[in-house]
A = this chain, B = another copy of it.
Amino acid sequence: MAGNTFGRVFRVTTWGESHGPALGAVIDGCPPRLALSAADIEAELERRRPGVQAHATSRREPDKVEIQSGVFEGLTTGTPISLIIYNRDVKSQDYDDLKCVFRPGHGDFTYQAKYGIRDHRGGGRASARETAARVAASAVAQKVLDKEGIRVLAYTLELGGVRAQNLDENRIWDNPYGCPDPEAAVAMEARVQAVRGQGDSLGGIVQVRVRGCPPGLGEPVFDKLDAALAGAVMSVGAVKGVEIGAGFSAARLLGSENNDPLIPGGFAANRAGGILAGISNGDEIVLTAAVKPIPSIAREQQTIDLEGRPRTLKVKGRHDISAIPRIIPVLTAMVRLTLADFLLRQKAIL
């Protein structure tokens, strides 16, 4: 049973390969009578677009979206919303030499093992390009969240080992790394330039915060809100770790330190990250994700080919130094999709 659908009530099915004609998303279960336009969606896509930041890949997609169904006279109708984004700037020949060789750190080997066939061009379905459909769909999810006043904020906490110390949310996008600490952003820039010269790549850490989430979202016992968020965020290719609230640091706290005291109107601390027993508690939801370095690097690597013979490989083509900051709108998207789904799920019990 395949896994290209996300959500139970607000359901998104995505499709498309990196070098196919298009990719898209079908959203089923969106409430009717929400204002929705292609421009709403394109604004979100713009944030994950290659080429926006100086250090980003040189592939440039206009990322125009077409709404093919489910919207009538500017309003959602309750029927499926089909979104299509055409792939226009495709250079498949860059990938010809990857047809028979597996790139380290990529899904080439595992797709071949799973399906006995793969579209090797640009990584096929395993390409980060796939996330454009997620981001497009999340613009629709945000329309659902808007009705409840829920907002999702995300930023770079760390890049290449450089960590933001001051989290000034007003400064996040006045630097090319989505970093809320301007001084750290300068150090990140230096780190990126150094690594670029070595033909190497960088990982980092992104933090996501949700404000305005009402208490009560999340479903015992398997579909806890934190379980769903962890799964959602981990479904983004580059993510290797997820924390809710204090996360791994909670493992070293005493119970008396880790418990958030309740006070009239809320909580006196938020080490829980806004979720208790899998259900939102009305406090800010805080999620932190570890992002691995981009596996496509310009340095020679050891690998094997389709017949299992040893090979060396230098990955050609256009590649980012880091998934950060382009992954920020993608992680934001997954959190939005999760919350929109749980918001509608909660309605069914009221």
Contacts and interface: CB of A to CB of B under 8 A. Distances in A.
A142 interface: no
B248 A248 contact: yes
A293 B1 contact: no
Interface stretch (A19-27, A47-55, A166-174, A182-190): A19-27
A251 to B, nearest CB: 4
Interface string A19-39: 011111010111111000000
B15 A82 contact: yes
Interface string A225-248: 011111111110100111111111
A78 to B, nearest CB: 4
A283 to B, nearest CB: 10
Q: Quick one: which of A2, A232, A281 has the most chain B CB within 10 A?
A: A2
Interface of A: 1-6, 8-9, 11, 13-17, 20-24, 26, 28-33, 66, 68-70, 72, 75, 77-82, 84, 102, 104-107, 109-111, 113-119, 124-126, 130, 158, 160-161, 195, 198, 200-205, 215-224, 226-235, 237, 240-248, 250-265, 268, 272-273, 275-282, 290-297, 299, 301-304, 308-310, 344-350
